[in-house]
A = this chain, B = another copy of it.
Amino acid sequence: MGVASSSYSLLSLSSHQHHSFLLSTTTFSNQRKTKLDSRPHFSSNPTSKNIPFESHLQILAHSPTTPLSVCGFHWKVGTLNCGRLREMETEVGVGANTLLDLPGVDQDLVDKIAFDALVWSSLHGLVVGDKTAQRSGKVPGVGMMHAPFSLLPMSFPENQFKMACEVAPIFNELVDRVSLDGKFLQDSLSRTKKVDVFTARLLDIHSKMLEINKKEDIRLGLHRSDYMLDEQTKLLLQIELNTISSSFPGLSSLVTELHRNLLIHYGEQLGLDSKKIPGNTAVKQFAEVLAKAWTEYNNPRAVVLVVAQPEERNIGGQAVAVVYFRAGYTPIDYPSESEWRARLLMEQSSAVKCPSISYHLAGTKKIQQELAKPNVLERFLDNKEDIAKVRKCFAGLWSLDDSEIVSHAIEKPELYVMKPQREGGGNNIYGEDVRETLLRLRKEGSEENAAYILMQMIFPSVSPTFLMRDGICHKDNAISELGIYGAYLRNKDKVIMNEQCGYLMRTKVSSSKEGGVAAGFAVLDSIYLT
């Protein structure tokens, strides 16, 4: 019997996979019942609106031996009133006729899948903090909601996905090689240094390490290379290579599991096969390589230190084997000299840094652009095939010193993105602003040129997608960005791990600026191989 408690609980009983049903329900306490509405408010099934229990219940069995059959069964709640129900329905996000263009998918089915997906999220940790909740982010375990996700995986060409996975270890190796060439990093970033204070501070630390001839025997990289599929050229082009705080290995693994689970249950109805979703063990492999780095450090009493933004963990006087930076990639993370001193001290220590200052610098946009220059990859990679594969991923990347390209970009700004060295996304310059900024810089003839790179505009294909956000299912045209995680660990000459590990698919409404780092309203997604 129900135990009176002040909150309700989510209960899901999933049968073994060889059975064909999924059973899940939400249970509520007595106290809350009077306030609750039973309708998931993304539902807009026109056949089940405001119909009282009685007329709605169509039990087809009236004799002891006939089977029970129900159509639209309600277990009505004591004080549920229709006014409340109507009020909820004004929030409906999906119109019933917007689905007509997707064969085999009707509104009822979408509602069911969306409901199950939301319950699954709650039960499997696919959650984020709800910024409307007062204590969310201050206290763990309170104020949570489901992470934004796409209801179904995004189609993606299998050969392109394979290629992206294949180059991941090559990029890992490339970062390592670049990180060892202190002069290349300093030279390439020498002009950026003059106009970007943040990069300058990182370079200062790097210089100090060069001065004392600091060697990192154990080198750990947790990277993510981001790509977009260019609609015109059908090429998968690199947006950026992240060498610090590569985000979402946990949530992306979960979304893959969610989509696989949904296709196991609904795949037949949708005409989709769950086996077409590639496995995603990013979080497991990230944990594994962190553990391996800790093992290499070879001090069983040492800990892994996680540097996070608004987080504090007291670690009483313990040795640190590995420093994992989940913060430190943006100037905002260094509000005073103290943080810079801390970063320097950590860099000076024998702890394994993920990333080291050299790895961090190797991931800057300026280095990305330098590597794209002719004959630069050849300085760091030996294998010609590897070089060709990596080069194929490079979008057009230019310094603002290239006057020919600058002239072309002024003429056709819609074909370019201007990217400042500054991190964090959302700082890119598009369209008419590209023209204006380039004209201003040309006129002023300033050093500020060095603060930007120019990148070829990528035009990804647009697909209709169901986006789940805030408990509501929206349908919109969306574009996707693929991130491939890479893990790298070496100790002196011994490469302990160099792997592609899982992926991150992010999907956003196509009204967002394209071709840059994903910004704004993006949901987590997975891949359906085609």
Contacts and interface: CB of A to CB of B under 8 A. Distances in A.
A21 interface: yes
A175 B299 CA distance: 58
Nearest to A483: B3
A57 interface: yes
A21 B303 contact: yes
Interface string A386-412: 000000000000000000000000000
Contact of A131 (B6, B59, B245): B6
B72 A315 contact: yes
Contacts of A9: 128-129, 147, 247-248, 250-251
A212 interface: yes
Interface string A303-321: 1111111111111111110
Nearest to A329: B1
Nearest to A291: B15
A332 B78 contact: yes
A247 B326 CA distance: 40
A336 to B, nearest CB: 7
A338 B55 CA distance: 9
Interface residues of A, number: 173
Given A1-B330, A66-B350, A72-B316, 17 more contacts: A3-B248, A3-B519, A12-B125, A28-B308, A28-B309, A57-B338, A61-B349, A67-B320, A68-B320, A68-B345, A68-B349, A69-B318, A71-B316, A141-B145, A142-B471, A144-B144, A144-B145
B338 A53 contact: yes
B141 A118 contact: yes
Contact of A41 (B57, B139, B240): B139
Contacts of A36: 137-138, 309-310
Contacts of A95: none
A397 to B, nearest CB: 17
A302 to B, nearest CB: 7
Contacts of A342: 53, 57, 59, 73, 75
Contacts of A146: 141-142
A100 interface: no
A487 to B, nearest CB: 12
Contact of A314 (B10, B48, B330, B336): B48
